[in-house]
């Protein structure tokens, strides 16, 4: 029986890029047929269009079978910042995936308290509701980011606090398994660099780089969902799952996307709060990180919660600068994920990515 068989699953921020792919994957039944899936977000327009999308795709496709989609899906307008809204949404849920976030680095720098409210108060509300109402929630998965590791920007700082709040949730609510996933840039998600580069290329350039030295981890939305599923299936209380994924120089991403087009590349300078290289596991965390399949698993900082001991899996921090992909490998990766524009399909692909 799958980990989601017969479960009622709540996805906060469920209308975002990750939330939509997570929803699609849950409804395929690959981890068992859920009893109900609740999409919780504050954007009623996105919920409306997502509802229409699912109602219009009732038949099986190569990827998806929406079995009883009308009965399975529930849409709730609400905000993780609001305790009572969270309390109403969590009643009756078995599993919670907290994908609600303010994630744009410059936005968080210019509106830091807004980031605190969503990225810190939101997860605290989830823990507090479970604790104070005694809800029998089985698992809560917090979606984190490489920017939470040795953070230098508000977005990363608030996500780092989210990780610690969820770890401590295991002490406050020992009957609930609070776990996290941490990964880098998601290919072609809303606000990421690839849709921006596509739009700049379509317009004839220039393509803008903040610095030619910059490197980033790269993974697809499906690989991000794989990480959530792996954590749900195998993570112990307080553990953080980190996928082993490739990294690349952002300049090389631009080079591959431009190809032989006469498009200029210019440097604009690092944006507020932006790192040159990202880190997924810090040197301090190495000693409590263990390998598990395709993942590194960071044991909780609170020793009473640790499941595994022994020597750490890493001798040094896990950085995007460590082993960047060559141009050919990067080109193959983008082709595999249908992200390399050809002149004939350029407009269609860009429109699909930016939808």
Active site residues: 147
First CA to last CA distance, the chain: 36
- Contact by Cβ (8 Å): 185, 214: no
Cβ–Cβ < 8 Å for 248, 194: no
Distance CA 73, CA 82 (A): 22
Q: Exposed, middle or buried, 288 (CB in 10 Å: 0-12/13-18/19+)?
A: buried
Closest to 274 in 3D by CA, of 43, 105, 61:
105
Report residue 24 CA to chain centroid gap.
15
Per the CB < 8 A criterion, the answer to whether 281 and 242 are in contact is yes
Sign of torsion, CA 49 50 52 56? positive
Cα–Cα distance list, 241 to 83, 226, 232 (Å)? 27, 11, 10
Question: Helix (H, G, I), strand (E, B), or coil: what is residue 111?
Answer: coil
Burial of 35 (0-12, 13-18, 19+ CB in 10 A): middle
DSSP summary character for residue 121? I
């Amino acid at each position: 029986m799958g980990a989601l068989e017969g479960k009622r699953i709540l996805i906060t921020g469920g209308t975002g890029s990750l939330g939509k792919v997570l929803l699609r994957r849950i409804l395929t039944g690959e981890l068992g047929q859920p009893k109900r899936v609740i999409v919780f977000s504050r954007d009623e327009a996105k919920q409306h269009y997502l509802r229409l999308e699912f109602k219009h795709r009732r038949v099986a496709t190569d990827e998806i079978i929406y079995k009883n989609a009308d009965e399975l899906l529930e849409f709730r307008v609400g905000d993780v910042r609001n305790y009572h809204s969270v309390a109403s949404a969590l009643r009756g849920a078995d599993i919670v995936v907290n994908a609600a976030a303010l994630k744009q680095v410059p936005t968080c720098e210019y509106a830091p308290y807004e980031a605190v409210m969503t990225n810190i108060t939101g997860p605290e509300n989830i823990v507090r509701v479970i604790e104070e109402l005694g809800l029998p929630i089985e698992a809560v998965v917090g979606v984190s980011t490489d920017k939470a590791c040795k953070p230098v920007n508000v977005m990363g700082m608030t996500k780092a606090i989210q990780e610690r709040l969820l770890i401590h949730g295991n002490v406050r609510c020992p009957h609930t398994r609070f776990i996290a996933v941490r990964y880098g840039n998601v290919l072609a998600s809303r606000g990421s660099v690839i849709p921006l580069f596509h739009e700049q290329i379509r317009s004839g350039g220039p393509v803008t780089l903040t610095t030619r030295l910059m490197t980033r981890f790269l993974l697809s939305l499906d690989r991000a969902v794989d990480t959530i599923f792996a954590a749900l299936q195998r993570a112990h209380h307080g553990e953080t799952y980190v996928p082993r994924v490739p990294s690349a120089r952002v300049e090389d991403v631009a080079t591959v996307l431009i190809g032989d087009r006469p498009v200029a590349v210019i440097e604009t300078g690092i944006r507020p709060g932006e790192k040159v290289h990202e880190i997924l596991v810090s040197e301090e965390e190495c000693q409590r990180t263990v390998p598990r399949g395709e993942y590194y698993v960071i044991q909780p900082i609170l020793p009473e919660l640790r499941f595994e001991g022994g020597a750490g899996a890493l001798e040094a921090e896990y950085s995007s600068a460590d082993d960047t992909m060559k141009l050919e490998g990067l080109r193959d990766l983008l082709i595999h994920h249908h992200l390399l524009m050809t002149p004939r399909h350029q407009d269609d692909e860009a429109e699909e990515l930016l939808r």
